[in-house]
Amino acid sequence: MSFLRKFTGLAIVTASTFAPRFMAGILVRRVLTPRRSRSHLSQTHERVDIGNGIVGWRESGQDPKMPLALFVHGFDGDHDQWRAFGKVVQQAGYRVVFLDPPGHGTSRAWQCDPIVFSEAVGLAFKILGPISLYLGHSMGAAAGVMATSDSINANAFVLIASPVVMARTIEATALRIGLRRAATDALQDEIGRKVGVHPRNIDLMPSVNGQSVPALIIHDRGDRQVPFSEAEELRAAWPDAQLFATDGLGHNRILQDEKVLREVAGFLGSL
Give mean pLDDT in consecutive 10-residue pieces for the chain, a chain of 271 residues.
39 56 71 72 86 90 91 90 94 95 84 88 93 96 92 94 92 77 84 89 89 96 94 95 97 96 97 93
- In DSSP terms, which residues pair with 137 in a beta bridge? 160
Going by C-alpha positions, the residue among 181, 52, 185, 66 that lies closest to residue 121 is 52
In this structure, which amino acid lies at residue 77? G
- Cβ atoms < 10 Å from Cβ of 107: 20
Per-residue model confidence (pLDDT) at position 231 = 97
95-100 and 133-137 beta bridge pairing: unpaired
d(CA 135, CA 118): 14
Per-residue model confidence (pLDDT) at position 152 = 87
In this structure, which amino acid lies at residue 67? P
Could you give phi then psi for residue 168, rounded to 5 degrees?
-70, -35
Per-residue model confidence (pLDDT) at position 17 = 60
Can you say how many angstroms the Cα of residue 206 is from the centroid of all Cα atoms in its chain? Answer: 18
User: Radius of gyration over alpha carbons of the chain, in Å?
Assistant: 19
d(CA 39, CA 22): 34
* Helix, strand, coil percentages for the chain (3-state, nearest 5): 50, 15, 35
pTM for this structure?
A: 0.89
As assigned by CATH, the class of the 37-164+203-270 domain is alpha beta
Dihedral angle, C-alpha 267, 69, 42, 34, nearest 10 °? -80
d(CA 76, CA 117): 12
Burial class for 259, CB neighbours closer than 10 Å (0-12, 13-18, 19+) = exposed
Per-residue model confidence (pLDDT) at position 22 = 64
d(CA 136, CA 251): 13
Domain ranges in the chain are 1-32+169-201, 37-164+203-270
